[in-house]
Amino acid sequence: MELKNKHGIANLIVALIVLLAGFAVLMWFFLGFLWGQNIDKETCHQSVILRGTSPSMTQNYVPLKCKTQKYCVTKGGNCEDSFGEGEKFAKVKVRNSEDIEQFLAREMVDCWNMMGQGKISLFASYWTSNYGIGTVYPTCVICDRVAFDKSLKQENLLENVNLWNYMGTHKVSGKEISYLEYFGGSVSAKDTNFDISGLGTDDKGNVKLTTTTEKIALTAEQGTTQEKYEDLDLLFMQISAPSSSGVIKNTLKDAGLTFGAGAVLAPKFISAAGGAVRAAGWWTLVGVALAGGYQQYSVYANRGITASYCGDVSVGSEARDGCSVVRTVNHEASDIEQYCQVVESI
């Protein structure tokens, strides 16, 4: 009887080990494959927060751990023409054009949230943003690469995609507001066939919207009868430029002077200037004047650069200050280079 009990306990232990091993395999599968995309997004978001809260002088040395997520939108195919052998990507099965619109809208929101909703300065140069020294340029993180399978052609699903209209008439998951309201905008386009191409904020956090008549559709290769799907990149772009008064204030502050004291400090300022003239001569003042002129010219030029990249999402001084934008562009180097001089995503 005792021998049977020992055999029974041994069998129970073996069964428990098998169950635990099976559970471990299942957990590995779910965490590694099903939740892998979310884990990567959370890692990226944490690196965004870390960079955004780091001292401005060392901020750009904090790496962004943002990996481009790859998706195959399909009704049953494999996007074999879009991804190379061995590349990992997630399949997104759709039934109609609205499913495609829903997927793209949700990914735009995810990208915007992951990158800090435009509230965090991520790419500004310390010397340029504080003292106007150097040249500004747009930096991007490519959140998603989206490929469309040939199976979508049969029902012309891509040609009927209207992302602008979808975002204005559907609510964000878990919220009681539309996608456009979530971004702070409204559906005001006269032609509701326009597709959304950018979402940006001004320095007050107000989000601006832009539209384009370019549709997500098929294009024919010249000289052939072969047709191909345009893959999309969904990217976050940010660029900013300092104001003229801001760099002057920072320069004088770091030179040991302060603002707001009025007439109390005015005599001290005049006395200090007179002392500098007597100590180093007028050539010093000439050098300071030339340096100040270069500084202000650099600020003027940089604000013109930001306006050229942000003019479709902001106007006037807002565009010159800079913008944070989520855009969908074709997966072509020439299209990406229109908005990104540097890409920091993996």
C-alpha distances out from residue 161 to 96, 149, 175, 213, 328, Å: 9, 15, 23, 12, 13
Q: Are 218 and 321 in contact (CB under 8 A)?
A: no
Q: Left if phi > 0, otherwise alpha if psi is -120 to 50, otherwise beta: which for 173?
A: beta
Q: Left if phi > 0, otherwise alpha if psi is -120 to 50, otherwise beta: which for 262?
A: left
* Sign, CA torsion 315/316/320/321: negative
Mention every residue, 6+ apart, whose C-beta is less than 8 A from residue 104: 146, 161, 163, 232, 234, 328
Nearest to 58 by CA among 124, 114, 141: 124
Domain boundaries, the chain: 35-247+296-343
Nearest to 57 by CA among 236, 254, 249, 304: 254
Reduced 3-state DSSP string for the chain: CHHHHHHHHHHHHHHHHHHHHHHHHHHHHHHHHHCHHHHHHHHHHHHHHHHHCCCCCCHHHCCCCCCCEEEEEECCCCCCCCCCCCCCCEEEECCCHHHHHHHHHHHHHHHHHHCCCCCCCCCCCHHHHHHCCCCCCCEEEEEEEEEECHHHHHHCCHHHCCHHHHHHHCECCCCCCEHHHHCCCCCCCCCCCCEEEEEEECCCCCEEEEEECCCCCEEECCCCCCEEECCEEEEEEEEECCCHHHHHHHHHHHCCCCCCCHHHCHHHHHHHHHHHHHHHCHHHHHHHHHHHHHHHHHHHHHHHHHHHHHCCCCCHHHHHHEEEEEEEEECCHHHHHCCCCEECCC
Q: What is the pLDDT of residue 310?
A: 87
Q: Give the whole-angstrom CA distance, residue 240 versus residue 247.
A: 13
Q: What is the pLDDT of residue 280?
A: 56
Q: Name beta bridge partners: 146.
A: 71, 232
Q: What is the pLDDT of residue 34?
A: 40
Q: What is the pLDDT of residue 56?
A: 87
Q: Give the whole-angstrom CA distance, residue 296 versus residue 302.
A: 10
Task: Per-residue pLDDT tens, the chain, 346 aa: give them.
Answer: 554 555 556 566 655 665 655 544 444 333 344 444 555 889 999 999 999 999 988 898 999 999 999 999 998 877 877 787 778 899 999 999 999 999 999 999 999 999 998 889 999 899 999 988 899 999 999 999 999 988 786 778 888 888 888 988 999 988 888 888 877 543 333 333 334 444 444 444 444 444 333 333 333 333 333 344 568 999 999 999 999 889 888 888 877 654 444 444 455 544 555 555 455 566 666 766 777 787 888 999 999 999 998 887 766 667 789 888 888 888 889 999 999 999 998 8
